[in-house]
Amino acid sequence: MNVVITSEIVQAYSVCPRKAYLLMYEKEEGALHEYEKILIRNQLVNQTRNLELLKQKNIDVYPYNIPNLKKGYKFLIDANLTYDNFQAYCPILTRFNKLSYDPTIFIGTHTVNKTDKLQLMFINYVLTEIQGKSSDKGYIINITGKSRRLKLLEYYLSLKYPISIYPEDEGYTVLIPDLTGCITQGETLEEVIENINEAGELWIERVYTSAKKEIPLPSKRI
């Protein structure tokens, strides 16, 4: 069975893995709570309003497709991004240099939460695979039209990854299981914790810059 991973599934997994599983494999979707319906309605109103304003103020606005992406138009809208088994929808892509675009999403609330940031990160992952270069920032526009810029690398660096520490004859070995190959040593616990924090940051920065593979989110292991 070919399973398609969408931003909705990624967001659901961050809250409840069981919910994500049901979204992937259940044919029938459960009924939405009334509050969820309001948020979706607010988000669509917010998105529609801002897309219309964008079209009114700019002439370089085109629908998203690969040919238009390669032509490098300033704004691409209604972007259905697909790479391998991953799919993500992004309302606006804004070109910030000749090689890549920044993603913009809209929300139906005043406050940006964790799942909103996660949605933007997932969009950036799929977009990176398509354009071959990672964006360094993205934008989340709330219900009042206020735009919040999220530096995507800083978001990854702010994540807390669980570590595993192993006593050795002359100190400790420590690794971050989620970050393959991220391992270091130290003579004392204080030294090894400092070393692994630095190694984790270097791992994330190197992978983010190269855009050769995905940066995983922290697992729930303790």
Evaluate whether the domain defined by 160-210 bears CATH number 3.30.160.250: yes
Asked if residue 13 has pLDDT above 70, the reply is: no
3-state secondary structure of 137: strand
| Mean pLDDT score, 26-39 | 68
What pLDDT sits at residue 156? 82
Confidence of residue 21 (pLDDT cuts 50, 70, 90): low
CA angle 217, 220, 221 (to 5 degrees): 120
Q: Strands, E, within 137-206: which ranges? A: 137-141, 147-151, 164-168, 171-175, 183-186
Question: How far is the first Cα of the chain from the last one, in angstroms, to the nearest whole number?
Answer: 32
Asked if residue 211 has pLDDT above 70, the reply is: no
- Give me the residue spans of the domains in the chain: 33-156, 160-210
3-state secondary structure of 1: coil
Confidence of residue 8 (pLDDT cuts 50, 70, 90): confident
Taking all residues of the chain, what is their mean pLDDT, rounded to a whole number?
85
| Mean pLDDT score, 125-141 | 86
Structure-derived torsion over alpha carbons of residues 134, 175, 190, 161, reported in degrees to the nearest 10: 50
* Residue 48 contacts residue 143 (beta carbons within 8 Å): no
Asked if residue 111 has pLDDT above 80, the reply is: yes
Least confident of 50-64, 76-90, 122-136: 122-136
pTM of the model: 0.72
Which architecture, in CATH terms, is 33-156? 3-Layer(aba) Sandwich (3.40)
To the nearest 10 degrees (0 to 180), the angle between helices 7-15 and 17-25 is: 150
| Mean pLDDT score, 190-200 | 94
CA 212 to chain centre: 16
3-state secondary structure of 48: helix
Q: In this predicted model, what pLDDT tens digit does every residue of 147-178 receive, in sequence order? A: 999 887 887 888 889 999 999 988 999 999 99
Structure tokens at 168: 């050795």
Asked if residue 103 has pLDDT above 50, the reply is: yes
Share of the chain above pLDDT 90, in %: 51
Alpha carbons 112 and 79: distance in angstroms, whole number: 22
Confidence of residue 222 (pLDDT cuts 50, 70, 90): very low
What pLDDT sits at residue 179? 93
Most confident by average pLDDT, 13-22, 145-154, 178-187? 178-187
3-state secondary structure of 186: strand
Between 161 and 222, the higher pLDDT residue = 161
Which residue do the tokens 């570590």 mark? 163
Alpha carbons 100 and 39: distance in angstroms, whole number: 30
| Mean pLDDT score, 30-50 | 83
